[in-house]
Amino acid sequence: MSVIYLLISVSIFVAICFFIAFIVAVKSGQYDDDYTPSVRILFDDETKITSQNNNSPIEEKQV
């Protein structure tokens, strides 16, 4: 068995894996809202800062 069969099959298989991942992503609604997540990703850190240091949230966030 020639190696080309193996290589091409593997490459197609990998491509199909990505394709399935895409379908799953669309199905779960990830593409319905393409704006909010981009804002949300910036929030996490700031939440922690305020809850840990009640007194000096202003100095912290200017860093």
Partner 1 sequence: MSEQSCFHCGLTIPKNEEINFDEKKFCCTGCKTVYEIFSLNDLTCYYDFEKSPGATPQDIQGKYDFLDNEAILAKVLEFQEANTSIVSLNIPHIHCSSCIWILENLNRLQPGISTSQVNFPEKKVRITFNSETVSLKSIVYLLSSIGYEPYISLENYETGKNKVDRSLTYKVGVAFFCFGNIMLLSFPEYFEIKEFWLDSYKPFFRILIFLLALPSFLYSASGYYVSAYHSIRTRMLNIDIPIALGIIVMFIRSTYDMLMDHGPGFFDSLASLVFFMLLGKMFQTKTYSFLSFERDFKSYFPIAVTRINADFSEESVPIYDVLKGNRLLIRNQELIPVDGILMSEKAEIDYSFVTGEAVPITKKSGDKIFAGGKQIGKVIEMEVLHSVSQSYLTQLWSNEIFQKKVEQKHKTITDALSRYFTPILLLIAFAGFGYWIFIDANIAFNVFTAVLIVACPCALALTAPFTFGNILRIMGKQKMYLKNALVIEQLAKVDTIVFDKTGTITTNKKSNILYEGIDFSDENLQLIKNVLRGSNHPLSRMLYDFLPEYERIKIDDFQEITGKGILAFAEEKEVKIGSSSFVESEVLDSSEIERTSLHIKIDNIYYGKFIFQNQYREGLEKLFETLSREYNIKVLSGDNDGERENLEAILPKNTELVFNQKPEQKLEFIKKLQETGKNVMMVGDGLNDAGALAQSNVGVSVSENVNVFSPACDAILDAGEFSRLNYFLKLSHKSILIIKMSFGLSLLYNIVGLTFAVTGNLLPLVAAIIMPLSTITIVSFVTFMSNYLSCKNLD
C-alpha span between 43 and 39 (Å, rounded): 7
Q: Which residues contact 46 (CB under 8 A, 6 or more apart)?
A: 61
Contacts (CB under 8 A) with partner 1, residues 4-43: 4-5, 8, 12, 15, 19, 22-23, 26-27, 29, 31-36, 39-40, 42-43
Residues 21, 15: contact at Cβ < 8 Å? no
Total residues at interface with partner 1 (CB under 8 A): 30
Contact set with partner 1 (CB under 8 A): 2, 4-5, 8, 12, 15, 19, 22-23, 26-27, 29, 31-36, 39-40, 42-43, 46-47, 49-51, 54, 57, 61
